[in-house]
Chains A and B, each alone.
Chain A
Amino acid sequence: MALVNHDTKEVQFKIVYCGPAFSGKTTNLQHIHGRIDDDRRGDLLSMATSTDRTVFFDYLPIDAVLIKGYHTKFQLYTVPGQVAYNATRQLVLRGADGLVFVVDSSPEKLEENAQALRTTEENLAQNGVVMDELPFVLQYNKRDVPGAVAVEHLNLLLNQRPTPFPVVEAVASQGYNVFATLNSVAEEVLQRFHASVASGGGPGWGVRDQVGATVG
């Protein structure tokens, strides 16, 4: 859900990192947090167990470039990958403008990746969103692990879509291609935003027209 504030001249987007447990979603945000100047980002907020498994979400607000006089802000979220957290995942996905699906390239995680992608598609569908219509980037992470599954094999398993998703190979724990991934999804989000604005609305700009006060 893009939020455009014509008073403060800000446009705000929400990008969610999803994918199976332990694939490196939080690691992506940690790297971004570590590399962006303090005055361009907020703190990285993590709701996790003592062993760093995300239980609700991680959150990192960052500022991007100024485009046509408007400040662009991205709210980065991760969801918990563990199967048990389906309900919380659903909540965090709400209003996402773009998604990064972080794949674990370890050979033993193949089926888990496929399962998580199916679950993500279901989670989105329950929010009324078609996954193939969303700015969506597949990050093949952990390319450094021994026996990492070949990209062609991962594509065969995960990327047989009407229009295949853009793919970025990464090693998030070393920061490799973490920003390339973020750039890729952010660019798609912006392009789509500008295209929609140019066409004066258009498909995908669902409008909700009923607001009622329930306080009190």
Chain B
Amino acid sequence: MTDPSTVPSSSGDYQLNLTTESARRFREVMRGFLDETGCSMGAVIERSGAVIVSEQRSPGNGVKLPRADSVGALAAGLFASTHMLAKQIGEQEPPEVICHGQDMHMFVAPLSPEFALLAVFPNRVAVGLIRLQARKVAAGIMADLGQIIRNVTVLAPASGSPPSEERENLFLRYN
């Protein structure tokens, strides 16, 4: 197990490669997490805001679930700023951050120095259960997470530069 304090907050430029097998395992683990807890959404986010995997279940009552990438970016920001706040009062990383709403709530907790678990849940779900299942999630995906940040060279989407007409038209058709 790594001591979070020994890992730099960032080590420059890097890339995460998520293989099909890892992605499927992640989804399975997240589905299991939703089944066991009754959460409406579960996601693993990288600390700079990228969503590695997310699964959603409709909470009913006409509640609309948010876009995973937007919630991921905000949750990473929330967690990072809470971390900095904690440091100001001499604390280390907060073990979790919980946002209590009227009907829906949010839970963010670190899985490792680089990754965090995000859960969105309705009133009927107990936080204790989420904590418990979060450990299972960590155990279920940690080997793969270790793999994807090591695995920087597998399966290229393309070799060489993309054709120039593709690059030039990157956003133009929306302009």
Chain A interface residues toward B at CB < 8 A: 1-9, 11-12, 14, 35-37, 40, 42-43, 45, 47, 56-57, 59, 61-62, 64-65, 67-70, 72-73, 75, 77, 87-88, 91-92, 94-97, 127-130, 133-134, 179, 182-183, 186-187, 190-191, 193-198, 200-201, 204-216
A91 to B79, CA, bound (A): 10
Minimum distance in angstroms from A68 CB to a CB of chain B = 4
Distance of A35 Cα from B14 Cα, bound (Å) = 31
Query: 7 closest pairs, A vs B, by CB?
Result: A95-B48, A7-B23, A212-B2, A128-B12, A212-B1, A68-B158, A197-B156
Query: Do B12 and A204 touch (CB < 8 A)?
Result: yes
Is A179 in contact with B73, judged by CB distance below 8 angstroms? Answer: no
| Contacting residues of chain B (99-137) with chain A, CB-CB under 8 angstroms | 109-115, 117, 131, 134-135, 137
- Assess whether B39 is interfacial by the CB under 8 Å rule: no
Select A45's contact among B48, B70, B159, beta carbons within 8 Å: B70
Within the complex, which residue of B47, B113, B153 is in contact with A212, where a contact is CB–CB below 8 Å? B113
**B11 to A42, Cβ gap below 8 A?**
no
Q: In angstroms, how far is the closest chain A Cβ from the Cβ of B97?
A: 13
- Cβ contacts under 8 Å, A130 to chain B: 12
Complex contact A208–B112 (CB within 8 A): no
Q: Which of A77, A127, A205 contacts B15 (CB 8 A)?
A: A205
- Can you give 23 contacting A-B residue pairs, CB < 8 Å? A1-B50, A3-B46, A6-B18, A7-B19, A7-B22, A11-B157, A45-B74, A56-B77, A56-B81, A87-B84, A97-B13, A128-B8, A128-B12, A129-B10, A134-B13, A197-B156, A197-B158, A210-B2, A211-B112, A212-B1, A213-B142, A214-B113, A215-B138
**A211 adjacent to B69 (CB under 8 Å):** no
Are A67 and B162 touching (Cβ within 8 A)?
A: yes
* Most chain B CB neighbours (cut-off 10 Å) among A65, A92, A204: A65
Task: Write out the residue numbers on chain A whose beta carbons fall within 8 Å of the beta carbon of B48.
Answer: 1, 14, 94-96
Q: Is there contact, CB below 8 Å, between B46 and A1?
A: yes
Asked whether any CB of chain A lies closer than 8 Å to the CB of B62, the reply is no
In the complex the two chains form, what is the Cα distance from A190 to B160 in whole Å? 10
B139-175: contact bitstring with A at CB < 8 Å (1 yes, 0 no)? 1001001100110111111111110001111111011
Query: Is B67's CB within 8 Å of the partner chain A?
Result: yes
Range of interface residues on B (Cβ < 8 Å): 35 or more
The answer to whether A215 and B135 touch (CB under 8 A), given A7-B20, A209-B146, is: yes
Check A69–B157 contact: CB distance below 8 A. Answer: yes
- B32 CB-CB contact with A under 8 Å: no
Task: Please tell me which one of the listed residues A43, A210, A211 contacts residue B70 in the complex, with CB atoms under 8 A apart.
Answer: A43
A73 to B157, CA, bound (A): 14
Establish whether residues A127 and B14, one from each chain, have CB atoms under 8 Å apart when the complex forms: no
Q: How far is the CA of A70 from the CA of B18 in the complex (A)?
A: 13
- Assess whether A75 is in contact with B73, with CB atoms less than 8 Å apart: yes
CA distance A212 to B109 in the complex (A): 14
Q: Please name all residues of chain B whose beta carbon is closer than 8 Å to the beta carbon of A72 when the two chains form the complex.
A: 170
What chain B residues lie within 8 Å of A69 (beta carbons)? 157
Q: Which of B93, B145, B174 is the one whose CB lies under 8 Å from A211?
A: B145
Pick the contact of A57: B47, B77, B152 (CB < 8 A). B77
A215 to B18, CA, bound (A): 22
Residues on A with beta carbons closer than 8 Å to the beta carbon of B91: none
Contact indicator A208/B74 (Cβ below 8 Å): no
Q: Report yes or no: B138 in contact with A200, Cβ–Cβ below 8 A.
A: no
Q: A6-B18, A68-B158, A214-B110 are known contacts. Are A204 and B13 too (CB-CB below 8 A)?
A: yes
Q: How far is the CB of B70 from chain A (nearest CB, A)?
A: 5
